[in-house]
Each structure stands twice: as C-alpha cells, then as structure tokens.
C-alpha cells in the first residue's frame, strides 16, 4: 500500500494523513439549483426533449410517435411519460397489425384518443 505522507519524528517513522476541506459557497449552490429549476420550468431541458424525440435512448418508434403527434398538432413536451409510452405502443400496434388496432373499450377509437390529447395538450 502506498504511503500518503511519511515523516520522521525523533528517529521514528510516523504516518499521518492530511485532510483538505473543499468549501462551496452558498451562491454557487443556489445558482446551480436555480438553473436546474429553470430547465424544468421551461422547455430548455435537453434530456426530456431527447427522450420524447427518441434520441436518447435511441428508439425509432418514439421518433415516429413524436412526428405523428406533432403533425396532429399535439404538444408532446407537456405529455407525461405514461402517455408517451402508451401512445408509442398504440402506434407500434397499428403499424404491425393494421388500422383496426389498437382496440379500446366502450367503442372509443384511435382518433378519439388523438382528439383527447389535442384538447389536453394543444400545440401553440
């Protein structure tokens, strides 16, 4: 094992460990916190934008979902993760099995779901 600090006192070897304190100012901590909160409040947070666009993680069905809903005038950035994943799954089902899928209960159609999202998250 490597010795961190080796000194001799009165002919005897003594090993001491020195500690360095790193002090952070309150101003820097508050600035980082404010920047983080501003990213959450505005649409400037890149991680959420990359997620909904299917860039990170790389996921082609989510990219298709983003472009599809954007063309239908839905603000995808305001949608929840659950809504994004469900709609991605529905579009993938429709792509694999045809236009009669997905099937919803109570005679709800796929267009009804799109209109519901358009009313809930209108693109401005």
pLDDT tens digit at each of 124 positions of the chain:
555 555 555 666 555 555 555 555 545 567 777 776 776 666 556 788 888 888 888 899 999 999 999 999 999 999 999 999 999 999 999 999 998 888 889 999 999 999 999 999 998 8
- Which pLDDT value is given to residue 13? 59
Confidence (pLDDT) at 22: 56
Question: For position 8, what pLDDT does the model report?
Answer: 59
CB 67 within 8 A of CB 77: no
Helix orientation angle between 110-120 and 81-97, rounded to the nearest 10 degrees: 150
Q: To 5 degrees, how large is the angle CA 33–CA 51–CA 99? A: 150
Q: Of 66, 68, 88, whose CA–CA distance to 77 is shortest?
A: 66
104 token code pair:
């919803």
d(CA 55, CA 74): 19
């Amino acid at each position: 094992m490597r010795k961190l600090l080796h000194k001799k006192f009165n002919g005897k070897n003594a090993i001491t460990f020195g500690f360095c304190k790193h002090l952070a100012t309150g101003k820097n901590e508050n600035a980082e916190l404010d920047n983080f909160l501003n990213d959450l409040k505005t649409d400037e947070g890149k991680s959420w934008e990359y997620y909904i666009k299917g860039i990170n993680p790389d996921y082609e069905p989510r990219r298709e979902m983003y472009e599809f809903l954007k063309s239908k005038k839905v603000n995808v950035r305001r949608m929840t993760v659950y809504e994004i994943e469900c709609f991605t799954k529905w579009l993938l089902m429709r792509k694999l099995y045809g236009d009669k899928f997905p099937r919803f209960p109570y005679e709800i159609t796929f267009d009804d779901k799109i209109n519901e999202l358009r009313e809930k998250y209108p693109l401005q």
